[in-house]
Each structure stands twice: as C-alpha cells, then as structure tokens.
Amino acid sequence: MLLHIPGQTSQGSVSEHLVGLVDIFPSIVDATGLPPVKQCSGTPSSEIPCHEGLSFLPLIQHPNRAWKTAVFSQATKKDMVVHSVRTASSRYTEYVNMTRLQLEKNWRSVQARELYDHSTDPTEGNNIVDKPQAQSTVEVMRAILYAGWKAALPHANVKSSGRGTYMEDT
C-alpha cells in the first residue's frame, strides 16, 4: 500500500507490517482528526456504527512498533463462505458450507483448504495444505483463523477509550 498524508508522512517511510481493508476506515478518520468510531465488540447488532480495524497511522510514525500478527478476509462463493488469514509468512483459507435458508456457517463442513508459504511461494502457485511437512503450519494457521481478528491484535499496545480504539505510542 502506498500512502501520502500531507504533514504526516515522510517520503520513503516503509513498514512491513500487515494491514487490511478494515484498517483503512479508522486510519482515514484518524488522519482527519475526527472522533474515532468504536471498535466492534463482537455483537454486531449492539454497536452500529463500529469497525474491526486499527488506524495504521501510528505505523507511519513508528514503523517497527508492535502490530497485528494476522489479517483476515471473508467472501462468499456460491453456497460457501471463504475465510482466509494472512500472517507475515503464510496464507491459509477454508471454504465452508453455508446453509442459505439458515445463513449459518457449518465449520464442520470444510469443503476445501489452501495454504501458501510466502517465503518460498509469494505468488501462491503451490497449495501445500496436504503436504505432510506443512501439517504443523496448517494447525497453527487454523488456530489463528478460528481465534479471530481480536486475538491477532497487539494487546500490549491497544488502548480503548470511550471514543474508540487506537495504538498507544511505545
């Protein structure tokens, strides 16, 4: 991602940390100086509006700070929900059946899985999910996926206020 915010970014700043689409909204709000929107607690109907991201503006000021250990994505494909988790080294994906009438995911009904090792396969051309040597990575990535986005936050540096969630400078 390339980013320029007049008066806040300097030319040539680089951070290798992961950011997701969910981080763009709180970052724009942060850059404009508007009051932050609350981060979702996990009960969607109780908090509207809310978001699942973190402002990445603190990464601009401190590129080596503690940050998320993973980013997540979700999409639908026919009668399946596609859940992915990306870490610094890998991407793991599960295709899960979804009953359209009930709109419930059946996590016991994983139809397909993918695992890519970005250190050796950055273009994701070789799905290694069924390789015996990848099974420990599959277990770790699946645990990260099931733990969800909140478990990937840098808990030591995430602070909450009545107005939102932000990264405290360290």
Predicted local distance difference test score (pLDDT) of residue 124: 97
The predicted model gives 19-39 an average pLDDT of: 88
Report domain extents, the chain. 21-67+154-167, 71-151
How many angstroms separate the CA atoms of 168 and 170, rounded?
Answer: 6
In 3D space, the residue among 106, 74, 80, 78 whose CA is nearest the CA of residue 95 turns out to be: 80
What are the phi and psi torsion angles at 84 (to 5°)? -130, 150
Count of H-run helices and E-run strands, the chain: 3, 6
Residue 4: φ, ψ to 5°:
-135, 120
Q: What residues have CB less than 8 Å from 90, skipping those under 6 apart? A: 115, 116, 117, 118, 137, 141
Domain 71-151 has CATH 3.30.1120.10: yes
pLDDT above 70: residue 107: no
Neighbouring C-beta atoms of residue 37, cutoff 10 Å: 17
According to the model, what pLDDT value does residue 118 have? 96
Q: What is the pLDDT of residues 48-98, one digit of tens each?
A: 677 888 888 888 878 888 899 999 999 988 878 899 999 999 999 999 887
| Cα-Cα end-to-end distance for the chain | 24
At 120-155, the pLDDT tens digits run 999 999 999 999 999 999 999 999 999 988 899 887
